[in-house]
Amino acid sequence: MSETLYEISAYAKINLFLKILGKLPNGYHQLYTIMQEVDLADEITVAVDEEAEDTITVQDPEGKILSEDNLCHIAARKFLGYMGRKYEGTVFPKITITLEKNIPAQSGMGGGSSDAAAVLLVLQEHFGKPFTDEELNGLAVSIGADVPFFLYGGTCLCENVGEEITVLRSLAGGNIVLVKPSEGVSTAECFKMADRSVAGEDQIAPFRDITERLRSGSEECGLPEFVEFLGNCQDSSNDLQGPAEEMVPEISALLSELTANGARVARMTGSGSAVFGIFDDEEDQASAYDNIRRAHEKDGTEVYRLKTI
């Protein structure tokens, strides 16, 4: 049997805060954000057949072939393309990727980006690490701004367009209720609206300070202190939240619902439309989860009980 199988979980993320520092000449936005993995994941199997023809196929668990625009396909194609240029004469195998989706689309949780990073990590392992960390990071950001974070996972500061990654002290163990309304948010339109007011350096300074405390690994700054910091920021910690609420008013209502159900902090992740609340303990989390799920049984809203990891 020439086929080698790899199984990997592609975890979702939330943005604990997201600040926009400006717009770059290439049209991308310069970001300053802490991304945090949570324990909701797409499940991916990669089958590599060294004796079969050079093809890439992405399918769902029932065997339905997915579009070549799927980020798993793009990641595999770019990986092999980079390898072909770096190592002339390389013979490529047949790659079959089976993708089981669990992360909701248009949620701001980076599902497609996480899938792409998972494929890159599998192929990097299979081919004996042909790329340096810097090269793999460059390949990742060419696929999408969130992809580099998922090469690292955990708790990270992500800067510039997202490719400058700094691993921070872990904020694992947080009790999260995440709510995804049925309506999504256009990421492009959300950023366009956010351009109307870019945060000044005085507004960024507190976020730089808390990040530096996490970067240094200070015992005085862990999850409780970070949650307290976010609570003191009120609604200023995600520069995309205001524009998203204009487009999808239900976001504001769900944030209020999380707060009413005991969340210490309630925020939108990324450009939405998913929102999350952080709770003091699992009992409060479970109560909020049950209440919100019952309240939205028939309107298409998705509710998740999660942990930061």
Q: Is 86 a catalytic residue?
A: no
Tokens standing for residue 87: 């190592």
**Enclosing H/E stretch for 124:** helix 111-126
Of 302, 299, 246, 295, the C-alpha closest to 274 is 302
Exactly one of 19, 146, 180, 239 is catalytic; name it: 146
Question: Cα separation of 181 and 274, whole Å?
Answer: 7
How do strand 56-59 and strand 29-49 relate by DSSP bridges? Answer: unpaired
Exactly one of 13, 19, 115, 239 is catalytic; name it: 13
Question: Cα separation of 307 and 294, whole Å?
Answer: 21
Q: Provide the 3-class DSSP secondary structure of residue 236.
A: coil
| Cβ atoms of 302 and 179 closer than 8 Å | yes
Q: Is 146 a catalytic residue?
A: yes
Question: Cα separation of 205 and 114, whole Å?
Answer: 29
Q: Which residues are catalytic?
A: 13, 146
